[in-house]
């Protein structure tokens, strides 16, 4: 049973000494590394064993890996007979065909081995060792020390103890085998041999039609957006309920660098409306991707990659209109207006479609580098490290926050060592050179004001908080419900331990925690203290804690899971263009879009990465006890507040369900679809 939490200033001198000794040890375990691909940001120097991936998480990853690998093998099923290539539409040589057959055998063998290892994860004894399995999931190190004793106590049979102990000892190795196997198979598909295999399967080179992208989904269900992404309605809606739903900015007037005319505006919004009127009424909205201006771009087997720094104008019809959905009005593909950088509107046919595609490329890169990697994963890395280094395990804030950090150090380490490594998936898929892309993420963290990131403030700062001006904004509306649910829970929980502001100011562990977060030699986070420094009030502590939990759960879910439901179909949101943006308004054949879209091998990689990252759900918001044999919170005073929180989440689930009856459904922020932490 965990001890009842306490504030350090209320402990005895002996207890305070014990807390300090524990923290001294933890600072060695949770050390900073400032010399990585993410330098100068501090990341964990190592992933402590207790922070490694759990077995339940590994099961989800393995299952997703089997789905993806099975999909590839299904595409190739009709092209092989007993492992032998039976046709050669790709014009490969005999030697190349033999290599293709070798790759096919490796993949089928990999599928069998992955399936076997997944099955072995499920073989730990179930009864009488249910309590043991809970520990396997959460605390491998504790289990290894006590497995035999626990089973003897519950079963009284030595052989059961021996078997369970062996299962516990085997499971970490099985889990590592799964991760190594998935990594090996991915590298195989990224290799020269993988290229030959994809050529043989018809998954390589420029697409002849959009059907080639749909054909990449053999056993997988294509996202619903595959059937409607080319409409302006869905293009506009992605700003409000897509993978990157927190960038749209309300404006009163257009910037000089984006000189849209009233005639262009009225071609979409009607002759009775004007830019001046819409701006005055708060109905104009802007996307500005200036962050990508001049970024060095990379090359792949598909050729030179391109990314622009576009501006896009959107507007909401006036209040007297029946349909007040956001509409796409105009696009300028780079920052400086001129004859070679015209403004496109929906009246411009294929040229408009190409301009829209280049906005999507910029949005996809912004999403992955800033909204996703930078403002969820990397920021939470700093909170995770500082919490372990400055708050003793019996601190109430430590107990509240650590479930929301489960798996974060491990997944961030995997990203730093593999995903964003030179030649890795991000380097292959995104438009910029990998060093330049990584720098975008680093700068996003450095520039982010934590205090201005609290959801109500962030919405107001972007001018999108007023539902009368922007009525249909699913992300805003659902996220606010969840922010309020989390804030009420945090306030109720912390009020058990902090009687007043003086208790907050006297908590020297808490003050050391926030000092480290803001330190230029440690967390490096911007605007993470109150005026005067430190944390001065209970209300600020509640807001900051709410932000941490919201970011780890709701915000990460908002940007992570649409990778599967939108981005796995590459034409809907390509991560790089393969031709420059149009420089004139002219009639072009619709097939021109295919020259701008990624080649099929890059689309295949985008499908694998985004489906994989968007298909693993581990833990659920509010489910602190899900994998434990006893309550996570030992203090019985917490239980009523937790029950209220869980009831609020169920009510929010019903409210979102009702909203989805009268809008295009947005299911990303259903509470049952939101994990507790950033673990994928």
Examine the domain organization and report whether 297 and 328 are in the same domain. Answer: yes
**Calpha distance 174→177 (Å, rounded):** 5
Mean pLDDT across 496-511: 98
pLDDT tens track for 185-213: 888 888 888 999 999 999 999 999 999 99
Strand partners, 236: none
C-alpha torsion sign, points 243, 246, 247, 251:
positive
Q: Which two tokens stand for residue 451?
A: 């205090």
**Calpha distance 231→30 (Å, rounded):** 49
Q: What pLDDT sits at residue 147?
A: 30
290, 220, 277, 206: which is closest to 249 by C-alpha? 290
Asked whether residue 230 is domain-assigned, the answer is no
**Calpha distance 356→250 (Å, rounded):** 20
Asked whether residue 572 is domain-assigned, the answer is no
Mean pLDDT across 57-64: 86
Cα–Cα distances (Å) from 13 to 18, 390, 664, in that order, read 9, 18, 59
Examine the domain organization and report whether 379 and 523 are in the same domain. Answer: yes
Q: What pLDDT sits at residue 171?
A: 55
In angstroms, the first-to-last Cα distance of the chain is 30
Q: What pLDDT sits at residue 401?
A: 98
Taking 50 as the threshold, does the pLDDT of residue 168 lie above it? Answer: no
Is residue 133 helix, strand or coil? Answer: helix
Cβ(592)–Cβ(210) below 8 Å: no
Q: Which long-range contacts (CB under 8 A, 24 or more apart) does 633-642 make?
A: 633/2, 633/399, 634/1, 634/2, 634/3, 634/4, 634/5, 635/4, 635/5, 635/496, 637/496, 638/493, 638/496, 641/489, 641/492, 641/493, 641/496, 642/489, 642/493
Q: What pLDDT sits at residue 123?
A: 63
Q: Which two tokens stand for residue 370?
A: 């800033």
Provide the number of structural domains found in the chain: 3
Examine the domain organization and report whether 326 and 429 are in the same domain. Answer: no
Cβ-Cβ contacts under 8 Å for 586 (sequence gap 6 or more)? 351
Q: Among the three residues 325, 355, 385, which one is the final residue of a domain in this structure?
A: 355
Q: What pLDDT sits at residue 653?
A: 98
Cα–Cα distances (Å) from 198 to 43, 194, 299, 415, in that order, read 36, 6, 19, 25
Mean pLDDT across 14-33: 97
Cβ(328)–Cβ(236) below 8 Å: yes
Examine the domain organization and report whether 460 and 481 are in the same domain. Answer: yes
pLDDT tens track for 225-280: 999 999 999 999 999 999 999 999 999 999 999 999 999 999 999 999 999 999 99
Is residue 339 helix, strand or coil? Answer: coil
Q: Among the three residues 157, 186, 201, which one is the final residue of a domain in this structure?
A: 201
Q: What pLDDT sits at residue 129?
A: 31
Q: What pLDDT sits at residue 126?
A: 37
Asked whether residue 585 is domain-assigned, the answer is no
Examine the domain organization and report whether 327 and 458 are in the same domain. Answer: no
Q: 105-136: string of b/e by CB count within 10 Å (b at 16+)?
A: ebbeebbeebbebbebbeebbeebbeebbbbb
Taking 80 as the threshold, does the pLDDT of residue 72 lie above it? Answer: yes
Confidence of residue 1 (pLDDT cuts 50, 70, 90): low
By the 10 Å C-beta count (0-12 exposed, 13-18 middle, 19+ buried), 551 is classed as buried
Provide the CB-side half-sphere exposure for 617 (13 A, CA).
18
| 549: CATH | 1.20.245.10
Asked whether residue 591 is domain-assigned, the answer is no
Least-confidence region, from 76-85, 214-223, 513-522: 76-85
Confidence of residue 133 (pLDDT cuts 50, 70, 90): very low
Residue with tokens 């803001």: 518
Cβ(432)–Cβ(368) below 8 Å: no
Examine the domain organization and report whether 287 and 341 are in the same domain. Answer: yes
Q: What pLDDT sits at residue 651?
A: 98
Asked whether residue 641 is domain-assigned, the answer is yes
Angle of helix 55-76 relative to helix 94-121, nearest 10 degrees?
A: 150
Find the radius of gyration of the CA atoms of the chain: 26
Examine the domain organization and report whether 279 and 385 are in the same domain. Answer: no
Taking 60 as the threshold, does the pLDDT of residue 446 lie above it? Answer: yes
Mean pLDDT across 50-74: 88
Asked whether residue 361 is domain-assigned, the answer is no
Examine the domain organization and report whether 187 and 279 are in the same domain. Answer: no
Within its chain, how far is the Cα of 130 from the centroid? 32
Examine the domain organization and report whether 60 and 41 are in the same domain. Answer: no
Least-confidence region, from 146-150, 551-555, 607-611: 146-150
As a whole number, the mean pLDDT across the chain is 90
Q: What are the phi and psi torsion angles at 284 (to 5°)?
A: -105, 140
Q: What pLDDT sits at residue 531?
A: 84
Examine the domain organization and report whether 485 and 406 are in the same domain. Answer: yes
Taking 60 as the threshold, does the pLDDT of residue 170 lie above it? Answer: no
Examine the domain organization and report whether 436 and 527 are in the same domain. Answer: yes
Asked whether residue 588 is domain-assigned, the answer is no
Taking 70 as the threshold, does the pLDDT of residue 633 lie above it? Answer: yes
Report the 10 Å Cβ neighbour count for 96.
18
Q: What pLDDT sits at residue 143?
A: 30
Angle of helix 600-613 relative to helix 158-190, nearest 10 degrees?
A: 150
Cβ-Cβ contacts under 8 Å for 227 (sequence gap 6 or more)? none
Cβ(537)–Cβ(504) below 8 Å: yes
**Calpha distance 303→316 (Å, rounded):** 39
The more confident residue out of 24 and 586 is 24
The CA dihedral of 50, 448, 559, 241, to the nearest 10 degrees, is 150
pLDDT tens track for 648-657: 999 999 999 9
Asked whether residue 584 is domain-assigned, the answer is no
**Calpha distance 382→398 (Å, rounded):** 14
Q: What pLDDT sits at residue 83?
A: 86
DSSP sequence for 426-488: HHHHSSB-HHHHHHHHHHHHHH-BSGGGSHHHHHHHTT---TTTS---HHHHHHHHHHHHHHH
Q: What pLDDT sits at residue 91?
A: 87
Q: What pLDDT sits at residue 78?
A: 87
Residue 109 structural domain? 55-201
pTM of the model: 0.92
Q: Which two tokens stand for residue 72?
A: 């590839």
Confidence of residue 497 (pLDDT cuts 50, 70, 90): very high
Q: Which two tokens stand for residue 571?
A: 């034409």
| 333: CATH | 3.10.450.60
Report the 10 Å Cβ neighbour count for 89.
10
pLDDT tens track for 85-132: 888 788 899 999 999 999 999 999 888 888 887 777 666 443 333 333
Q: What pLDDT sits at residue 131?
A: 34
Examine the domain organization and report whether 14 and 63 are in the same domain. Answer: no
The more confident residue out of 667 and 124 is 667
Mean pLDDT across 593-605: 96
Q: What pLDDT sits at residue 55?
A: 77
Mean pLDDT across 24-44: 97
The more confident residue out of 563 and 591 is 563
């Amino acid at each position: 049973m965990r001890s009842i939490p306490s504030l350090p200033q209320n402990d005895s001198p002996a207890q305070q000494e014990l807390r300090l000794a524990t923290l001294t040890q933890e600072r060695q375990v949770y050390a900073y590394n400032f010399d990585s691909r993410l330098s100068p940001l501090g990341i964990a120097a190592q992933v402590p064993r207790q922070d490694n991936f759990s077995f339940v998480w590994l099961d989800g990853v393995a299952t997703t890996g089997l789905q993806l690998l099975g999909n590839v093998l299904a595409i190739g099923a009709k092209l092989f007979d007993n492992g032998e290539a039976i046709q050669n539409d790709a014009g490969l040589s005999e030697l190349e065909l033999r290599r293709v057959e070798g790759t096919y055998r490796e993949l089928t063998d990999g599928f069998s081995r992955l399936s076997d290892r997944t099955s072995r994860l499920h073989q730990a004894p179930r009864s009488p060792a249910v309590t043991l399995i809970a520990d396997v999931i959460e605390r491998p190190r504790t289990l290894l020390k006590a497995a035999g004793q626990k089973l003897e106590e519950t079963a009284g049979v030595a052989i059961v103890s021996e078997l369970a102990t062996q299962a516990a000892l085997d499971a970490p190795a099985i889990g590592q085998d799964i991760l190594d196997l998935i990594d090996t198979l991915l590298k195989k598909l990224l290799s020269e041999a993988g290229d030959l295999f994809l050529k043989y399967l018809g998954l390589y080179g420029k697409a002849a039609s959009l059907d080639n992208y749909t054909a990449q989904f053999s056993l997988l269900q294509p996202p619903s957006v595959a059937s409607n992404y080319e409409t302006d309605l869905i293009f506009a809606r992605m700003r409000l309920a897509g993978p990157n739903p927190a960038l749209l900015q309300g404006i009163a007037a257009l910037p000089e660098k984006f000189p849209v005319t009233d005639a262009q505006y009225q071609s979409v919004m009607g002759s009775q409306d004007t830019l001046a009127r819409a701006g005055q009424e708060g109905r104009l909205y802007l996307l500005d991707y200036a962050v990508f201006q001049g970024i060095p771009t990379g090359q792949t087997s598909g050729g030179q990659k391109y990314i622009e720094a576009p501006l896009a104008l959107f507007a909401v019809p006036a209040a007297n209109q029946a349909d007040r959905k956001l509409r796409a009005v105009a696009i300028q593909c780079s920052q400086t207006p001129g004859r070679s950088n015209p403004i496109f509107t929906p009246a411009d046919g294929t040229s408009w479609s190409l301009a829209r595609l280049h906005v999507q490329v910029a949005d996809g890169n912004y999403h992955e580098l800033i909204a996703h990697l930078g403002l969820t994963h990397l920021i939470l890395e700093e909170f995770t490290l500082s919490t372990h280094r400055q708050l003793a395990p019996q601190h109430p804030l430590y107990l509240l926050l650590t479930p929301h950090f489960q798996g974060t150090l491990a997944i961030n380490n995997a990203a730093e060592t593999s995903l964003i490594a030179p030649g890795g998936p991000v380097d292959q898929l995104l438009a910029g050179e990998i060093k330049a892309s990584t720098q975008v993420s680093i700068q996003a963290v450095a520039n982010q004001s934590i205090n201005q990131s609290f959801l109500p403030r962030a919405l107001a700062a972007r001018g999108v908080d007023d539902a009368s001006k922007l009525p249909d904004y699913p992300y805003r509306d659902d996220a606010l419900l969840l922010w309020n649910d989390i804030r009420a829970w945090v306030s109720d929980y912390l009020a058990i331990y902090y009687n007043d502001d003086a208790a907050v100011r006297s908590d020297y562990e808490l003050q050391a925690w926030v000092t480290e977060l803001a330190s230029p030699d440690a967390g490096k986070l911007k605007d993470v203290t109150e005026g005067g420094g430190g944390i001065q009030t209970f209300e600020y502590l509640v807001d900051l804690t709410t932000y941490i939990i919201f970011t780890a759960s709701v915000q990460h879910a908002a940007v992570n899971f649409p990778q599967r439901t939108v981005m796995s179909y590459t034409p809907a949101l390509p991560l790089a263009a393969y031709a420059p943006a149009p420089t004139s308004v002219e009639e072009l054949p619709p097939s021109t879009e295919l020259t701008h879209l990624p080649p099929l091998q890059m689309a295949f990689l985008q499908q694998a990465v985004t489906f994989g990252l968007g298909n693993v759900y581990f833990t659920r918001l509010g489910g602190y006890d899900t994998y434990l044999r006893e309550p996570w919170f030992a203090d019985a005073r917490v239980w009523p507040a937790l029950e209220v929180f869980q009831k609020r989440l169920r009510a929010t689930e019903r409210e979102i369900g009702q909203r989805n009856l009268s809008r295009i459904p947005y299911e990303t922020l259903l509470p049952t679809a939101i994990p507790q932490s950033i673990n994928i």
